[in-house]
């Protein structure tokens, strides 16, 4: 028995163990290695560090060597007030575990310190109590946890793609990740600094509702979209927009880059700014149109045409414009000859300009008069003149 006690003492390992030695055969005790038998509660890291706000998990192992299946009730003792603990096994919270012969059951101890916890080293024990066969035996595993001082509250704002390209008509949609790296829930205000004429709107996730602030839980992240609309007349170039996020105790910012490529915009204007004129059936009449580029990039390979009623003759000069720079204008002559048999009245002619990535049109109203009508109008004018003359003679001739 003395020899057995010596061997029992020699087999104590880190952690706490309960075990019993198998009987030794007489005459062979000194020659044979004793069979390891017992029940242990251990952890790979009995002393560890953690930061405020971290999810604290400590792995535990319940080991059975050469003993019948053992039921062990588990508990945590010695934690300060306000701390919460939970032992999980198989993905669920447990209060006891059954470990079979020559088996090991892996468990997780989860700790949650209160928000008021102070930095320092905390010592506590995980206790296992055998129930049933061998009841009354206990195992105690000492553990130390050092809690580091809390980090300052912090916000981060990270764009997924910080540089986008588009035209003046584009909506530049930047996706950003907003993270609250602090121990407390907070409300974050959003703002933007953009060049004159640029409009910036924020939405949460893939929603359409515009927002100026949003709540973010401690340690959580949210997706925010910053949608930037440049003015229609913006010149081609590189522009920067700064977006910011600010809470009561922290702030963050991100720079967004917009590469705006030029966009031509073609406008058509009739003679003297009018979109109406007159012509005589069967006679040629010239109308001078103005083609202007009001966009921010050159318009290339513009083709010009005019569509008039059937039986009319239409000629456009020039028919093409190889290039029209921004703010540049070009005069275009449209020769129109209404049909000989055109009935007096109003007709519509459509003038069109089409180029690479740009097009526009203007409807021009032409009032057509026939030669006979012009004769009648001439006679009427003469009669009116004679009447005016006669009235003058009668009034002033008597004097």
- Confidence tier at 377 by pLDDT (50, 70, 90): low
CA–CA distance, 352 with 130 (Å, rounded to integer)? 94
Pairing of strands 329-337, 313-317: antiparallel
CA–CA distance, 324 with 359 (Å, rounded to integer)? 13
* pLDDT digits 0-9 by tens, 290-329: 999 988 888 999 999 999 999 999 999 999 999 999 889 9
pLDDT at 134: 67
Domain 266-372 sits in CATH 1.10.110.30: no
CA–CA distance, 30 with 269 (Å, rounded to integer)? 115
Q: Is the confidence at residue 398, as pLDDT, over 80?
A: no
- Confidence tier at 337 by pLDDT (50, 70, 90): very high
Q: Is the confidence at residue 378, as pLDDT, over 90?
A: no
Q: Is the confidence at residue 341, as pLDDT, over 90?
A: no
> Cβ-count burial of 166 within 10 angstroms (0-12 exposed, 13-18 middle, 19+ buried)?
middle
For 2-147, CATH number? 2.60.40.10
How many residues are listed for the chain in this entry? 399
| Domain definitions of the chain by residue range | 2-147, 154-261, 266-372
* pLDDT digits 0-9 by tens, 134-145: 677 899 999 999
What is the pLDDT of the chain when averaged over all its residues? 87
CA–CA distance, 217 with 53 (Å, rounded to integer)? 12
CB 334 within 8 A of CB 314: yes
Which CATH superfamily does the domain covering 154-261 fall into?
Answer: Immunoglobulins (2.60.40.10)
**In degrees rounded to 5, what are phi and psi of residue 283?**
-115, 145
DSSP single-letter state for residue 95: S
Nearest CA among 343, 289, 339 for reference residue 318: 289
Nearest CA among 67, 10, 18, 70 for reference residue 34: 10
pLDDT at 150: 77
The answer for 301, left when phi > 0, alpha when psi is -120 to 50, beta otherwise, is: left
More confident residue, 31 or 141: 141
Q: Is the confidence at residue 61, as pLDDT, over 70?
A: yes
* pLDDT digits 0-9 by tens, 100-122: 999 999 999 999 999 888 999 99
Q: Write out the two tokens for 132.
A: 């049933």
* pLDDT digits 0-9 by tens, 158-186: 999 999 999 888 999 999 999 999 878 99
pLDDT at 19: 43
Q: Could you list the beta-strand ranges (E) of 43-185.
A: 47-50, 56-65, 70-77, 84-89, 92-93, 96-99, 104-112, 120-131, 138-147, 154-159, 163-167, 172-181
Nearest CA among 362, 345, 365 for reference residue 353: 362
Same fold, 2-147 and 154-261: yes
């Amino acid at each position: 028995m003395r020899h057995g006690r010596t061997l029992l003492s020699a087999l104590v390992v880190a952690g706490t163990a309960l075990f019993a030695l198998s009987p030794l055969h007489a005459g062979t005790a000194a020659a044979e290695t004793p069979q390891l038998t017992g029940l242990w509660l251990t952890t790979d890291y009995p002393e560890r560090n953690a930061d405020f706000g971290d999810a604290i998990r400590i792995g535990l192992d319940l080991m059975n060597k050469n003993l019948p299946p053992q039921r062990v009730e588990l508990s945590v003792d010695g934690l300060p007030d306000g701390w919460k603990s939970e032992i999980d096994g198989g993905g669920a919270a447990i209060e006891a575990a059954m470990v079979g012969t020559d088996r090991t059951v892996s468990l997780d101890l989860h700790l949650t310190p209160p928000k008021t916890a102070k930095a320092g080293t905390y010592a506590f024990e995980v206790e296992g109590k055998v129930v049933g066969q061998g009841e009354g035996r206990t195992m105690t595993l000492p553990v130390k946890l050092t809690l580091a001082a809390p980090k300052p509250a912090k916000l981060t704002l990270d764009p997924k793609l910080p540089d986008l390209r588009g035209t003046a008509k584009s909506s530049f949609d930047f996706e950003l990740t907003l993270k609250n790296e602090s121990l407390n829930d907070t409300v974050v205000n959003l703002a933007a600094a953009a060049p004159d004429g640029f409009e910036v709107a924020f939405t949460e996730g893939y929603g359409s509702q515009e927002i100026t602030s949003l709540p973010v839980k401690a340690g959580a992240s949210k997706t925010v979209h910053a949608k930037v609309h440049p003015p229609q007349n913006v010149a081609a170039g590189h522009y920067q927009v700064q977006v910011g996020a600010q809470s009561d105790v922290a702030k963050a910012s991100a720079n967004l880059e917009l590469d705006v490529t030029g966009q031509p915009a073609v406008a058509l204007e009739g003679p003297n700014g009018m979109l109406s004129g007159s012509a005589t059936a069967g006679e040629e009449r010239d109308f001078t149109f103005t083609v202007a580029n009001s966009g921010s990039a050159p318009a290339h390979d513009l083709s010009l045409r005019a569509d008039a009623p059937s039986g009319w003759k239409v000629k456009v000069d020039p028919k093409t414009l190889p290039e029209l720079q921004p703010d540049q204008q070009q005069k275009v002559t449209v020769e129109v000859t209404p049909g000989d048999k055109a009935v007096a009245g109003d007709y519509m002619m459509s003038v069109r300009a089409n180029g690479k990535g740009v097009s526009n049109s203007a409807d021009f109203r032409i009032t057509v008069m026939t030669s006979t009508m012009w004769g009648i109008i001439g006679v009427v004018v003469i009669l009116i003149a004679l009447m005016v003359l006669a009235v003058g003679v009668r009034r002033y001739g008597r004097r």
